[in-house]
Amino acid sequence: MGQRLKGKRALITAAAQGIGRASAIAMANEGAKVFATDVNMDALSTIRSENLENIEIFELNALDKKSVDEGVSRADPDILFNCAGFVHSGNVLDADEEEFEFAMNLNVRSMMRTIKAALPGMLKRGSGSIINMSSAAGSIIGAPNRFIYGTSKAAVVGLTKSVASDFVSQGIRCNCICPGTVESPSWHDRVTALGQELGSRDEALAQFVARQPMGRVATAEEIAALVVYLASDESAFTTGHPHVIDGGWSGQ
């Protein structure tokens, strides 16, 4: 076990699977006291099989202010990783009001709520690292068929920069992460859905892989390594930035 996050308390939303889960495990392996939360308690409870005593799990619905307030107060985190988010497919003509509302609530508003709840404790201690999940799709690169998603993830960059600039002199850092395509359960669902549209799952998979010049998608663990870096004091001079980790998608 490493020591890079020893003595720190980390709260993670959407930790039952994918990047959130990998990040909970990676932070626990670096010595943090981790509060891994999700709405899917069945999936979340499987994290117990990792046998990491420093992971505590509980239900936190990022769409529900009361649930957020209670969860943040229970964790009183030094590190807040806002990972919850949902990917809608389609262009602006496909977008409907309800889906737009849902995405803005889950992908953006939930971060305002968790940050508002966590900041007072961080300010009292004079330190804190907030990490928000954005995406390469949005403000970094315009991805086809990701109108609602890209709009919401671009908003996360603005939210991140705003928080970073307002609290930079009080020991608080706020960064966001912009991954390319990452292997996760919901990504597998998206491949299946596109495969049904195209009549070939292999073709769908090839399209997702082709976005990354490296010729593959990321593992959740590769993103978790960046989360640990941003959470730790190693990144003490970094705030207000979108950190792109996309296999070269936007870097050509």
Residue numbers annotated as active site: 149
Q: Where would I find the H helices in the chain?
A: 18-29, 41-45, 65-75, 97-104, 110-125, 147-167, 185-198, 201-210, 220-231
If phi > 0 it is left, if psi is from -120 to 50 it is alpha, else beta; for residue 247 that is: left
The binder of ligand NAD chosen from 62, 118, 155, 176 (CB under 6 A): 62
Residue among 55, 20, 244, 23 nearest 134 (CA): 244
83 near ligand NAD, rule: CB under 6 A: yes
What is the bridge-based pairing of β-strands 242-245 and 79-82?
Answer: unpaired
From residue 66, how far is each of 61, 70, 104 by CA, in Å? 9, 6, 18
Closest to ligand NAD by CB, 7 vs 215, is 215
Closest to ligand NAD by CB, 7 vs 152, is 152
106 near ligand NAD, rule: CB under 6 A: yes
Q: Interface residues for ligand NAD in 160-179 (CB under 6 A)?
A: 179
- Those residues with Cβ within 8 angstroms of residue 72's Cβ, 6 or more apart along the chain or in another chain: 11, 80, 114, 117, 118
The binder of ligand NAD chosen from 87, 130, 143, 159 (CB under 6 A): 87
The binder of ligand NAD chosen from 185, 213, 248, 251 (CB under 6 A): 185
The binder of ligand NAD chosen from 23, 175, 181, 235 (CB under 6 A): 181
Closest to ligand NAD by CB, 62 vs 172, is 62
Q: Give the residues lining the site for ligand NAD (CB under 6 A).
A: 13-14, 16-20, 38-40, 43, 61-63, 83-85, 87, 106, 133, 135, 179, 181-182, 184-187, 220
